[in-house]
Amino acid sequence: MPSYRTVRAFAVLGWLCAHLSTQAEAVKPEFDPAHRFLFHAVLEGCYEDGLSDADVGRLLGREPHEGGLTHFVYACPVCTPVVHALEAYRARPQHFSSLKSPSNTFGPGLPESLRQQLNSADPEAQFAAVHKLVLDWTTRRMELQRLSPAEKQELHDRLEAMRKEGMYRLEDYRKNTTKPGTGSVISSYLLKNECPACNGATGRPQH
């Protein structure tokens, strides 16, 4: 006959399994595994690289006239978790409790060459910086997770499907936005056929 401790241990294990299962089922559908992968990859990347508030402000910059994000496609399923992570990082505490150091991030900051790209007046240079950051962060996260070949392929296929949906969003937005020459300032982003965040997340080169 099993001892009381054994019975109790199985009871606790059963409760824990049921609790974790309930938690998994309670995850909101808009935050599916691919969304969370991108969110965690970008948030972790920001901390590990030590982005400054100015860097994040530049990444989340908005068009002066239209007000939309300069570097990301509205409602794109790849861009959305990237933006959410940048917003979460920007909202981090100004100071970590009990630390004498004023630092509130981990890394040394972006390399000067990348920061110059991000702050360039040339949109192509800015997009190249966004692409490199997202590519580096997602690659790093994937390596840290030690995914099996099958898991990597499944994640890549899901990210690729999200990228394609994002391109449809971009094309629809372009069609429904006032064209140049009609008095409205059009984002340089709408003149592109690709999304740097989407290409970075799926390992595609930026053209």
Whether 7 is covered by a domain: the verdict is: no
Q: List b or e across 17-28, with b for residues whose CB sees 16 or more CB atoms inside 10 angstroms.
A: eeeeeeeeeeee
What three-state secondary structure class fits 50?
Answer: coil
Whether 27 is covered by a domain: the verdict is: no
Whether 61 is covered by a domain: the verdict is: yes
Whether 100 is covered by a domain: the verdict is: no
The pLDDT tens digits for 76-131 are: 999 999 999 999 999 999 888 888 778 889 999 999 999 999 999 998 899 999 99
Amino acid at 198: C
Domain count, the chain: 1
Whether 14 is covered by a domain: the verdict is: no
Nearest residue to 81 via CA among 51, 41, 50, 47: 41
Number of other CB atoms surrounding residue 16 within 10 Å: 10
For 156, the token pair is 């890549």
Whether 9 is covered by a domain: the verdict is: no
Whole domain around residue 169: which residue ranges? 32-93+105-175+186-202
∠ CA 84-75-37, nearest 5°, is: 45
The pLDDT tens digits for 153-204 are: 999 999 999 999 999 988 887 777 655 544 333 466 666 678 999 999 999 9
What's this model's pTM, rounded to 2 decimal places?
0.81
